[in-house]
């Protein structure tokens, strides 16, 4: 089978080596398309591919139209909002992600971001500590659970909400379940956001939730910028000069936010949550193994477009 690895932002060399080994040992041919300038190059490269591994690369309807032999796309990572699922399904293409493979990297970044904001972006002004505070985990999936564990170890009280995980399971994992997203925000000194970007969640965190947070609260977003209502965030930061916002990756109105709110806002210039060598290798190798399992055993365990 011909497997295309299409990465505008390439995997680390060690990951590429490991991915190649797994795929080639199973009899596949590997084609590498790295740092390509735009969709035209991806459209050309995908013409005879039967499988594709991507990172944040956009797999649009046009790309899928240009790939008549394609059977499977694996997004090496957790979020899969960069793949047009409806178009993939219409073409009979299986889409998978590699859940859990980069979660620790993202969870460590979330904790680092909390402390960074509490210490005024590492400037000398008097800061605050995280120990003894309450953290609300919004969506208790792979990343959320790990943030909870790490926060607990650092002496925070952990609250969590997830519409698809029963309260008992959240409690078993060591967090205190709360009844609603509104209750989570109103009760948490930090809220760490881990919801996926879906039609229901896009723009769902806005003025009302943010201004309901206690005095001195910090909103930490390592999920997707799209889940934030940016106008609502801006107004909330205006009306509540005690609140801070930190995010991986920059909102569209970041320049305006920086100018108005200075050290109270921080955004990474490029999404970097999963950008560790460990996560890079884990997600890449998992993607390669999933492609081999798909072609040899018909395994679709991680399919997201059922």
- Which residues contact ligand NAD by CB under 6 A? 77-79, 99, 102-103, 106, 139-144, 162-165, 194-198, 200-201, 222-224, 248, 271, 273-274
Contact yes or no for 64/70 (Cβ under 8 A): yes
The residue of the chain with the least Cβ separation from ligand NAD equals: 141
Q: How far is the CB of 164 from ligand NAD (least distance, A)?
A: 3
81 secondary structure, DSSP code: T
Q: How far is the CB of 227 from ligand NAD (least distance, A)?
A: 8
Q: How far is the CB of 2 from ligand NAD (least distance, A)?
A: 28
Residue 199 tokens, joined: 């039609």
| Strand ranges, E, within the chain | 2-7, 29-34, 51-54, 72-75, 94-97, 134-138, 157-161, 176-177, 190-193, 218-221, 244-247, 265-267
239 secondary structure, DSSP code: H
Which residue's entry shows tokens 């970007």?
Answer: 197
Q: How far is residue 93's CA from residue 31's CA, in Å, rounded to a whole number?
A: 19
Nearer to ligand NAD, 139 or 292 (CB): 139
Nearer to ligand NAD, 184 or 236 (CB): 184
Contact yes or no for 26/34 (Cβ under 8 A): no
Angle between helices 103-118 and 277-297 (to 10 degrees): 150
Nearer to ligand NAD, 194 or 240 (CB): 194
Q: How far is the CB of 139 from ligand NAD (least distance, A)?
A: 3
Q: How far is residue 220's CA from residue 218's CA, in Å, rounded to a whole number?
A: 6
Nearer to ligand NAD, 87 or 197 (CB): 197
Angle between helices 13-25 and 277-297 (to 10 degrees): 10
Q: How far is the CB of 272 from ligand NAD (least distance, A)?
A: 7
Q: How far is the CB of 232 from ligand NAD (least distance, A)?
A: 17
Nearer to ligand NAD, 143 or 191 (CB): 143
Nearer to ligand NAD, 198 or 296 (CB): 198
């Amino acid at each position: 089978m011909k497997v295309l690895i299409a990465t505008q932002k390439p995997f680390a060399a060690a990951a590429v080596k490991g991915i190649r080994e797994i795929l080639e040992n199973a009899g596949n041919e590997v084609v590498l398309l790295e740092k390509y300038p735009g969709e035209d190059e991806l459209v050309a490269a995908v013409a005879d591919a039967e499988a594709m591994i991507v990172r944040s690369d956009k797999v649009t309807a046009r790309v899928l139209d240009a790939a008549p032999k394609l059977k499977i796309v694996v997004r090496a990572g957790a979020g899969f909002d960069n793949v047009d699922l409806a178009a993939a399904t219409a073409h009979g293409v299986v889409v998978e992600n590699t859940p859990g493979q980069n979660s620790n990297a993202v969870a460590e970044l979330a904790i680092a971001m909390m402390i960074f904001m509490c210490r005024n972006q590492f400037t000398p002004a008097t800061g605050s500590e995280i120990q003894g505070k309450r953290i609300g985990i919004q969506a208790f999936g792979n990343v959320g659970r790990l943030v909870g564990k790490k926060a607990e170890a650092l002496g925070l009280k952990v609250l969590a909400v997830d519409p698809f995980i029963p309260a008992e399971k959240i409690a078993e994992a060591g967090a205190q379940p709360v009844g609603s997203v509104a209750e989570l925000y109103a009760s948490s000194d930090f809220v760490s956001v881990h919801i996926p970007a879906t039609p229901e969640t896009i723009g769902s965190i806005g003025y009302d939730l943010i201004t309901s947070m206690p005095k001195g609260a910090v909103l930490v977003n390592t999920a997707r910028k799209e889940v934030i209502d940016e106008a609502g965030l801006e107004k909330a930061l205006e009306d509540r000069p005690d609140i801070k916002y930190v995010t991986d990756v920059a909102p569209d109105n970041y320049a305006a936010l920086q100018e108005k709110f200075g050290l109270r806002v921080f955004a990474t210039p490029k999404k970097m949550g999963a950008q560790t060598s460990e996560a890079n290798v884990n997600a890449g190798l998992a993607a390669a193994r999933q492609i081999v399992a798909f072609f040899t055993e018909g395994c679709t365990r991680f399919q997201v477009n059922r």
